[in-house]
Amino acid sequence: MIKASIGKLAVAFNPAEIALETGFELLDFTGNDAVLLKDLPLHHKDPFDRMLITQSINNKYPLMSDDIKLSQYNCRLI
């Protein structure tokens, strides 16, 4: 939604509603996710990607990405 707010992406629907309608579960960013950011090595400097990495680690969920830098973290990639 940040990209949409600065005009780099057109979003003509509510992504949260679509996700729920199609069976996805929304995952909140928690305090535990934030705490893990402190000790996460700086292999990747994008703050949003780092947030996704901590969620993947804390929830034991795989992360779908083709970003090779993410393979340096203790999260499962698909």
Dihedral sign computed on CA atoms, order 1, 53, 36, 44: negative
Dist CA 2 CA 17 (whole Å): 17
With both helix axes pointing from N to C terminus, report the angle between 47-59 and 31-39 in degrees, rounded to the nearest 10: 110
Dist CA 1 CA 10 (whole Å): 9
- Residue 22: partners with Cβ closer than 8 Å, 6 or more residues away: none
Domain-located, residue 29: yes
- Range of 30's domain? 2-72
Domain-located, residue 78: no
Domain-located, residue 10: yes
Q: How many domains does the chain have?
A: 1
Domain-located, residue 45: yes
Dist CA 15 CA 45 (whole Å): 26
Q: What is the pLDDT along the chain (78 residues), one digit of tens a residue?
A: 888 999 999 999 999 999 999 999 999 999 999 999 999 999 988 898 999 999 999 999 999 999 889 899 988 899
- What pTM was computed for the model? 0.80
